Amino acid sequence: MEIAASEQRIGDLDSDRQADIVIAARSERDDLGPSPETGKRPRKNRRPLPARNIAAALCVIAAARVFIFSAAFPFFNNVDEQDHADMVVKYAHGYLSRGLTQFGVESARYFSLYYTPEFFRGPEQFPGARFPQPAWMLPAEEQERLITKKIEWWQHHPNSESTEPPLYYAIAGVWLNLGRLSGLEGPWLLYWVRFLNSFIVAGIVWTGFVTARLVFPEQPIFHLGMPLLLALWPQSSLYSVQSDVLSPLSFGITFFWLLNLTSSESPTALASMATGLAAAATCLVKATNLPLLALVAAFVAIWSWQLLRARKGWTAWVAPISMALCVALPVVIWSAWNYHTCNDLTGAATKLKLLGWTRKPLSEWWSHPLLTVGGFKAFWSTLLATFWRGEFVWHGKRLSLPAADLFYWISSAAVIAVAAVNLVRRRAIRDFQWRAVLLAFSSFVIFVLYLGILSMAFDFGNCPYPSRAHPYFTSGRLMSAAMVPFAMLYVYALQSLLRPLNKQWPQFLILGSNALAITVSELIVTWPVFASQYNFFHLLARVAGAPPSI
């Protein structure tokens, strides 16, 4: 009875200790010795493997998975990988954005030698129905002729990512220089930059775990479910040189620190500064993450008002002010630099002009097909499918399974609906947990609204995507910053639906089945990629570990 009572009192303790205390108490109960009634020792339960160890193993699995798929895909994919790689190479040389610039000479050499036609074209479009051999296998004289021809072309074309925020490019540029110092060059250096994603994804998984322990300390389904989903998330941008890969980690950290900050009755300056710097980093990764800054500001404003009403005195001001300063300083510096170089605070105006987009008057928004049932379905289904599996094509066809896409967008719609209903009812959930679910819900919804508004706000001219014929922003990678919050929503919705069963094993069974189905579908659609003669594995086999020079 005393041990049972102690389990009820642990709710006031630190979240990272609660599960361990319960396990220790139950272990003590099992070691009490022989029963006085029967004279037999109770059967001793094995202590389960700590969730922390399982989460760490999932980090390793996630890193290995991303490494394998990053190695399987050759260069350069259809999701602007050339643009992003060019920016990484430039930042590695100390470049800082100065408006719209052309592609660099070094990048053009990489594009010339290590580009594959397999993303956009099938083998039947080549003589003998076979892809030509990689350019880096040509004789040196032919390589130079090809490079000279391609460099001239690339140097006359601007890089559309030139005005994007710098954080990912700066980090990847430092990583590239580390590869150079290690003696890597040519395609090995390009793959080295891609392999940075393995560490980023491991960080995403661990962020999901510590967030689950913070918000739901007594519910193992969150401790294991969130890291499991994040470890197996099939988003193809994770296998690319691309700034989108850093968004889930930067906002995942923001999400954790913001919840940590608002869960404390005496918030510290350290937590406030960490929250602010993480929020600033999110904005400096991708311009499309800016709506999250407004969400964070609104969340902190409401929390500060609650502190004021509770008469917390100066505490109500120190935390939000220190956080605001840590957000504002980096963002204002970057905005001032953009205004100095582009005459625009975000640098977006230059990119819009390059793409040929023009803003539509508000009166023309209301005739947009997104506001019809069919248009909204097309927008929602494609956006949610690409949010899960990405946008890669192979041999000119989308890497997707219709059944998997149907599962992605329908299950996501169900998650949002269940979360919305539970937020209104506020049943079987503590105030702090309710606020966490509300923040997760808002993080996802604000992206959907933002991309919907962008879809209606522009005339896309002759741009192939988005286009006048299909005027929707349906690139799910643009909302990948919401990956950790959405993983929480997913597990929360599943747990809410199965709560009446009063058992945990159905929750783990369904979540595990979903994870298995996601993994199998990804393997099915990407299996042909592993046969590419342009990828990392074939590079290893062909050159026997001797990196070609460029």
What percent of the chain shows pLDDT beyond 70? 88
Mean pLDDT of 195-203: 97
What are the tens digits of pLDDT across the range 245-264? 999 999 999 999 999 988 87
Alpha-carbon span 91 to 500, nearest angstrom: 54
HSE, CB side, 13 Å, CA atoms: give it for residue 455.
25
Q: How far is CA 146 from the centre of its chain?
A: 37
- Residue 487 above 80 pLDDT? yes
What are the tens digits of pLDDT across the range 147-169? 888 888 888 888 888 888 999 99
pLDDT at position 4, please? 42
Contact status, residue 454 vs residue 368, Cβ threshold 8 Å = no
Least confident of 131-140, 383-392, 441-450, 466-475: 131-140
Tokens representing 393 are: 């094509």
Mean pLDDT of 478-506: 90
Is the model more confident about 525 or about 499? Answer: 525
pLDDT at position 390, please? 93
Q: How confident is the model at residue 311 (pLDDT cuts 50, 70, 90)?
A: low
Question: What is the crossing angle of helices 402-425 and 373-389, to 10°?
Answer: 100
Alpha-carbon span 361 to 458, nearest angstrom: 9
Tokens representing 86 are: 């060019």
pLDDT at position 351, please? 83
pLDDT at position 8, please? 43
Tokens representing 194 are: 């891609």
pLDDT at position 544, please? 55
- Residue 3 above 60 pLDDT? no
Average pLDDT, the chain: 85
Rg (CA), the chain: 26
Least confident of 2-16, 293-307, 391-405: 2-16
Mean pLDDT of 354-368: 89
Alpha-carbon span 319 to 269, nearest angstrom: 6
Per the document, the length of the chain is: 550
What percent of the chain shows pLDDT beyond 90? 55
Q: How confident is the model at residue 17 (pLDDT cuts 50, 70, 90)?
A: very low
Cα maximum dimension of the chain: 92
Is the model more confident about 36 or about 471? Answer: 471
Q: Which of 308-312, 325-329, 429-433, 543-547 has the highest mean pLDDT?
A: 325-329
- Residue 90 above 50 pLDDT? yes
Q: How far is CA 426 from the centre of its chain?
A: 29
Within the chain, how many helices (H) and strands (E) appear? 20, 4
Alpha-carbon span 380 to 357, nearest angstrom: 22
Tokens representing 126 are: 């080549």
Concatenated DSSP letters of 501-526:
G--SHHHHHHHHHHHHHHHHHHHHHH
pLDDT at position 263, please? 82
Burial of residue 44 (CB within 10 Å: 0-12, 13-18, 19+) is exposed
What are the tens digits of pLDDT across the range 382-391? 999 999 999 9
Least confident of 16-20, 88-92, 145-149, 277-281: 16-20
Residue 502: which region, alpha, beta or left (left: phi > 0; alpha: psi -120 to 50)? left
Alpha-carbon span 393 to 388, nearest angstrom: 15
Handedness of CA 442, 212, 285, 156 (dihedral sign): negative
Least confident of 400-414, 416-430, 441-455: 416-430
Query: Beta-carbon neighbour count of residue 508 at 10 Å?
Result: 17
Alpha-carbon span 281 to 246, nearest angstrom: 10
Mean pLDDT of 133-144: 83
Contact status, residue 15 vs residue 214, Cβ threshold 8 Å = yes
- Domain spans of the chain? 1-48, 61-241+539-550, 273-355, 357-501
pLDDT at position 498, please? 84
Mean pLDDT of 466-491: 93
pTM of the entire structure? 0.87
- Residue 96 above 50 pLDDT? yes
Mean pLDDT of 213-237: 93
Tokens representing 74 are: 């050759």
Q: How confident is the model at residue 35 (pLDDT cuts 50, 70, 90)?
A: very low
pLDDT at position 49, please? 64
